[in-house]
Amino acid sequence: MRALPQAFFERSALEVAPALLGATLVHEVNGMRRAGRIVETEAYLPDDPAFHGWNAVDPTSGMIRLTGRTAPLFGPPGVAYIYLVYGMYWLFNIVTERPGTGGCVLIRALEPLEGLSAMMEARGTSRVRALCNGPGKLVQALGIRPEQQGTDITLGPLFVEPADAKAGYEVGCSSRIGLTRGIALPYRFYFDGHPDVSPGIPSDIAVARRQSKLARGVRALDAQKHRRGRGDGV
């Protein structure tokens, strides 16, 4: 096992997130490896409104108000931060920065490499496609459990192996996916054109689409009202 060491994670999530692309996330379950190449990540920073610990630091005293959920985010780097979203799916993050600073990287998608049949079984599917192309899916596939919250991922059984070859993909950057705050910050990194990148739409684009659709609806309604007003039909 040649796991990425703590020093790799002891810097800004903005550096760690793109640096993780091409590395391999490994989980050893019952002596068997399940592994995938990291193809999509997102950075979450201390002063970022989408970061779970963004308001944990009191600006006047500088003291950190730790809650049960966010405490690991301000602990040592290279530790798992796992949390439940939408009451159903667990998402896997790696804590970054030196203790007390706050920050993490969300692993959003993997290219499945090892233990495919175990991953398919864990996901309840007989297809290899769409096995790990989303943050909730890859947690299911690798069998990452909420009890692993706070564990050191430089030791295993859950760890990251460094990339051993050029990936052959350009690194793309966009806003993050599925957010309502901090939607324009360019903190998402991915292998451009890789088939296992998640199908999500960057938040700023998604919001713009919703608004233009809404505007179209309003215009259609106005036109209808106008026609009715002139008595041309239903």
Nearer to DNA (CB atom), residue 1 or residue 184: 184
Please list every residue from 59 through 88 that binds DNA, using CB under 7 A. 67-70, 81, 84-88
Nearest approach, Cβ of residue 150 and DNA (Å): 13
Among 75, 76, 162, 178, binds DNA (CB under 7 A): 178
CA distance 181 to 82: 20
Q: Per the omega criterion (within 30 degrees of 0), is the bond before 18 cis?
A: no
Nearest approach, Cβ of residue 57 and DNA (Å): 12
Nearer to DNA (CB atom), residue 23 or residue 138: 138
Non-local (6+) Cβ contacts of 177 within 8 A are 42, 108, 188, 198, 200, 201, 202, 203
SS3 content of the chain, % helix, strand, coil (to 5): 25, 25, 50
Which is nearest to 109 in space by CA: 137, 81, 86, 142? Answer: 137
| Residue 211 is a binding residue for DNA (CB under 7 A) | no
Contact region with DNA (CB under 7 A), list: 30-38, 89-97, 163-171, 220-228: 89-97
CA distance 11 to 16: 7
Nearest approach, Cβ of residue 180 and DNA (Å): 4
| Residue 188 is a binding residue for DNA (CB under 7 A) | no
Please list every residue from 110 through 139 that binds DNA, using CB under 7 A. 123, 125, 130, 134-138
Give CA angle at 111 (109, 115), nearest 5°: 115
Non-local (6+) Cβ contacts of 85 within 8 A are 91, 136
| Residue 179 is a binding residue for DNA (CB under 7 A) | yes
Nearest approach, Cβ of residue 91 and DNA (Å): 5
> What one-letter code names the amino acid at 32?
M
Nearer to DNA (CB atom), residue 8 or residue 81: 81
Q: Across-strand partners of 42? A: 106, 188
Q: What is the binding site for DNA (CB under 7 A)?
A: 42, 44, 50-52, 54-55, 67-70, 81, 84-89, 91, 93, 104, 106, 123, 125, 130, 134-138, 176-181, 198, 200, 213
